[in-house]
Structure 1
Amino acid sequence: MGDPSLPDIRIGDADRVDAERLLNEHLTAGRLTPEEYGDRATQAAAARTQGDLLRLFLDLPGPHPNFEAPRQLDTYTAYTPPPISHEPQIAHPPVKRGPSTWVIAAITVPIIVLGVVVTILGTFGSGSFVIGLVVVGLVLLLMFGGG
């Protein structure tokens, strides 16, 4: 049927799910391309024997499927395998979102306009010039000063 050195012992759903999990580990380690992962995951879902699964790992380093003695299931509960997905499960970092650009513009533009007006009025001889510089300085600090 196949390679005589690979066992023809039947496998269960838990073995198929475990093999798919291990293939996903090889995908995330960069040993498999997404296309290779998809092909092998499809073959793992259709595998019937231990040999069928082990063939998928012949060119890969460990981890490989580990077939243990069958467990006795509780007579009151039946094992329901998780749904099988053939999509690669690559973890992506969460997207960090800040305030909307419109919110920032709605707050900073009036403050900048106020600072410019106060600065212009302050150049005509009153102490408002210093207040204008402080307002503009605070606006620039809020815009570019980390946080």
Structure 2
Amino acid sequence: MSIIIKFFVAPSRDAAAAVVEGGPDGVFDSLTYGNFDAEEALIEWEGIFTGRSFAELVDADVPEVVADPDDGGGPLVLLVSAALQDALAGADDLRLGEVSQRWVRERAEDREVFDPEISAWILTGLAELASGIGDREDRLYCWIA
């Protein structure tokens, strides 16, 4: 379970990796969340959006680790896949609601209670962040501490 989760947009992997120790605050605009497994959520959200299985995404190394200086013992930066970034950017409110509800149900199957309103709030924020990228080469990243 991640304590602090910050999603942010950066122009390159190197720029994203450079904030691994202190986080993206003051360097990149970010959205801050907490108390859920962000790496697992990225896999689950992508699976819901794309129809790919959890195992298939894990085998494909989704999400990709950009920086993990403490080998799992400290903060790390993940690259949100292009498929998930595009799905979030193109999702309307109805689709975000569907994904949110399905994610809450999946978490409940694993006996994890997740508030549907918070789930929708997270996905809506990410969709706004992703859609703001537009045609730029920037990418969406996740910093976890």
Q: Does the pair score TM above 0.5?
A: no
Higher strand share: 2
Kindly name which structure, 1 or 2, has the bigger radius of gyration based on alpha carbons: 1
* Structure number having the greater helix percentage: 1
TM-score scaled by structure 2? Answer: 0.24
TM-score normalised by structure 1 residue count: 0.24
